[in-house]
Structure 1
């Protein structure tokens, strides 16, 4: 017999996902706050594919600017 009750971890994750969908700017703020604590998987997971792409572009552009000005 299967138990259909959610575990506390599943409830927390479901509530977190609902909050991320309903509040995208808070999502970005949460993602950067998680980055300050050093958890990269939470940062990338909470940003989504668009936010991750933007983050990668910013890193690449920053690298190019630094390499141009500090040769």
Structure 2
């Protein structure tokens, strides 16, 4: 027997997709806003924990460099 073990990320994504399929008109406003602004959850899920850490590090370094040279 083979057990189907899914990661927490896969479970969250599956539950989110089921919610969107089950209530498409209720989520219409959310879909429009997400298309305009993007979703931080989708960004973090696509990058993984290493990519998210690198993104945070780049933002912090950018802020430090900006404050040193432009103030």
Higher relative contact order (CA 8 A, sep 6+): 2
Bigger helix share? 1
- Rg (Cα) greater in structure: 2
